[in-house]
Structure 1
Amino acid sequence: MAREHARILCRIWRDADFRGLTTDEQWMYKALLSQATISNAGVIAYTPRSWSKLAADMTEARVEAALSSLAAKRYVVVDEDTDELLVRTFMRNDGVSSNGKVFKNAMKVALQVQSEALRHVLAVELRKVDTEDARKAAAELDPAADEPRLNRSVEVDTANSTLDRIADQEKSERAEKSCGVGEGVGEGGKSPSVGGSVSSNRRRSDTAMTTKQLDKAFGEFWAVYPRREAKKGAQAKFRAAVKAGTSPDTIITGAKRYAAYVAQVGREREKIKLPTTWLNQGCWDDELNGPVTAQTPKPTGDFAEWLRDRWQAADASAVAKILGIRYEQPDLPLTVEDKQAAAEFFRQSARAWIANQHEAALAKMTGAAA
């Protein structure tokens, strides 16, 4: 069930470290706490783009910068590979640990977390609650999340992982005896051992792509793919393909080849593969350069009547073929989510385009027939 209220302790404003945060960082932290979808364990899906729409002057870049800083200061832990974010001291400061029923739900939710880094931090937090149920949940989340783990040296090949940075900073905080931010709100806002960027627990190579690079590459793919629907799902499939080892250039080149093929054969929009399907099936390797039979429409008789039929059928591709151009299907507005509404949007867009091209198409057909 979605949350109906958020708990922000008044003492947060008495803490010098929290007051030392920028306006964007404070806004971002409070925005996270007040999201209806944040779980009782303090875990929420990592969606910086949607959070950027919570204020008229906010941007995705500012959101990511604020999250990067909050991650460096350990207010939050982010795993971009699993798209999960944890508000680290949420369970203690939201009163979750003092409510038996809610706390049981929090432990249940915590056990569903995919990120190794988040599971480790949740285990540490649960051990601080120090109840039998909390200790059991912590042991299941991460058996190694105890004092010996925090004191051992960083293992080879894991220096760049979120998990090891967390361990380094916890060790640093213990040595410095940090008093914590807001008495548990952020706890430990000044540690030089953690970088300022939002990090991932995936052991990235020097050639691995950042989230911004992936988004830019997906944008290039989306611009050339001949059917732009189900964008969110397509982006997830695109990321998965790249992370599995396929070059973004290979995918984009394949999409261009498919778009050219679709235009050549005059394929109707409904028969063009959805981008999610195309990506899921690895269609970027399809051979589409062989000879094809062009399905050029052959209007006969009353050309005006033929155009009216094309308008009725919302068949913009047939009219585009007559004109020797390509019909560019518009992007689906973010406010349109229902499939039926989406279909109606594309139908009306095609009809509007055909109406605008009516005179030019009629002239082209009449001239060709003369």
Structure 2
Amino acid sequence: MAREHARILCRIWRDAEFRGLVTDEQWMYKALLSQATISNAGVIAYTPGPWSRLSADMTLERVEAALSSLAAKRYVVLDEDTGELLVRTFMRNDGVSSNGKVFKNALKVAQQVQSDVLRRVLAAELRKVGTDDANRAAAELDPDAAAPTPATVQSGNSTSDGNAVQKKSERPEKSCGVGEGVGEGGKSPSVVGSVSSNRRRSDAMSTRAVDKAFAEFWAAYPRREAKKGARVKFGQAVKGGIDAATIIAGARRYAAYVAQVGREREKIKIPTTWLNNGCWDDELNGPVVAQAPKPTGNPADWLRDRWQAADAVAVARVLGERYERPDLPVHVEGKDAIAVFWRTSARLWIEDHRDAAMAKLAQAAAA
């Protein structure tokens, strides 16, 4: 049965993180919460087209950008392969976990989720509820995860980002200063500098565990072709002693590199080739060297155009500097979310160096 109302707590406006979202992101989050078709588990079909028509001046591009940003900040989790989207803290914040009959339905519909990524996140959320039935459901959704200890089980009244304020003691450690991790029991791994040559042999992973890891790899990789062959190569690499997390991190770096240079699809390595050549060890974190357009015309106009294009490389060259990209947070997943992260990072860098760039441009114009 479709819902007739949505629950948005008034204290949402006391949440500094939620207030830190831009208007489109806040609008999108509330739009998701108030969809009649969202399940009691917080899962809804990914339909950005219809959502873009919920407001007269909204566009598909703005909806997709808002969703990508919300995903990067862990308000939602999206699996484009299965077409499913999860509002991460829905069950706890919508009152689902405190209503026996409704919560029973939520556990049932959670089991019907197809995405392995969403199932793992749902399991983590259920472990925070902490009841016996929630823990049993979590074990079925993600049987490979360790059972929660009493220290990590949270009360069903705990809150989180978006439509409520989470207690400070319950918040997870942040990785690279952006967004939140899925679990709240420990630190999220981060991607740093160049690829470390140190590898650890994977502990005899089960087929199901390898399938889950491959699903993460597939979601991160920028060209999705020959999936069956890629699964075979991925499994061979893991069996051969390469940590699955190392491969996934490498795929995220490659996707970020491809997004920054604007590489055409035909020039992106197909997954089987990338895996067969061990490209997870490629060092791609350095800034891309490109021919930057020379400053012409009004300096303010030129700088504004560079900001719009997120072309921090061009501005850095004016300053005689080198633009160094920040490390990509491990939880920023998917081509769109990665592109948003790089674009936002470049624009912030330009804003921080605006005055110095204007002075250089004025000096060059007067010479």
TM-score (normalised: structure 2): 0.45
TM-score (normalised: structure 1): 0.44
User: More helix by proportion, 1 or 2?
Assistant: 1
Which has the larger Rg?
1
